[in-house]
Amino acid sequence: MKVFIVYCHPSEDSFTKAMCDTFIEGVTDSGNEYILSDLYKMDFKTDMTEEEYLRDAYYKTSPDVAGDVLAEQKKINSSDAIVFIYPVFWTEAPAKLVGWFDRVWSYGFAYGEKTMKMLDKALILCSAGNSREKLEQSGLLDSMKKVMLGDRLFGRAKKTEFIVIDNTSRENEHREKNWDKNLQKVYEKGAALFL
């Protein structure tokens, strides 16, 4: 089985990077394959052009989709699952990942007369500086889930799951204390992705 991992973090020195590396270990140790799009390393262009906007706005299925977008769409259609790994920035994914959705979830691929395959699973793995309790009490966790699972992934995967690894800010005492435990959880998600 193959998973497409969309990773989005601007720094190599981050807990989120450790999450991505550990998740990949779990995937490969379980005998599965992966494809990785590291959006910052790729310098993925996130701004939609006027032509891209008009193509989607007028619901056109013309074949003039940009090459970088087609490459991402092919990665999706060659995989059984998709996983998004990113840090929470202001209750949202980083702008680069939001732009990835703006361009890759194009008309005729992700909606309308879809050519995007129905994936077996879609998983969100995000790191958050705040505690899970604070995110739940404020309603922010529910908001994040609604955007990612209820809009971006709705009807595009048979199973979806949203996991937030909390208290990961550098100044948070729980970051180091829970580092190994949290990475073990991430490893297990990678190893058991297709079970």
Query: Does the pLDDT value for residue 194 go beyond 90?
Result: yes
At residue 168, the pLDDT reads: 85
Taken in order of first residue, the domains within the chain and their CATH numbers are: 2-191 (3.40.50.360)
> 150: which 2 tokens?
């209820």
Instruction: Give pLDDT, residue 22.
Output: 98
pLDDT (tens digit per residue) in 78-106:
999 999 999 999 999 999 999 999 999 99
User: Residues of the chain with pLDDT > 70: what percent?
Assistant: 99
The mean of the pLDDT values for the chain is 95
Report whether pLDDT(171) > 80. no
pLDDT tens for each residue of 24-44: 999 999 999 999 999 999 999
Does the pLDDT of residue 62 top 90, yes or no? no
Q: Which phi and psi (to 5°) does residue 160 adopt?
A: -130, 150
Say how far apart CA 78 and CA 73 lie, in whole Å.
Answer: 9
What is the C-alpha separation between 86 and 101, in angstroms, rounded? 14
Confidence band, pLDDT 50/70/90 cuts, at residue 178 = confident
Alpha carbon dihedral 49, 47, 150, 113, in 10-degree steps, equals: 30
**Whole-structure pTM value:** 0.95
Measured CA to CA, the distance from residue 90 to residue 128 in angstroms comes to 10
pLDDT at residue 162 in the model: 97
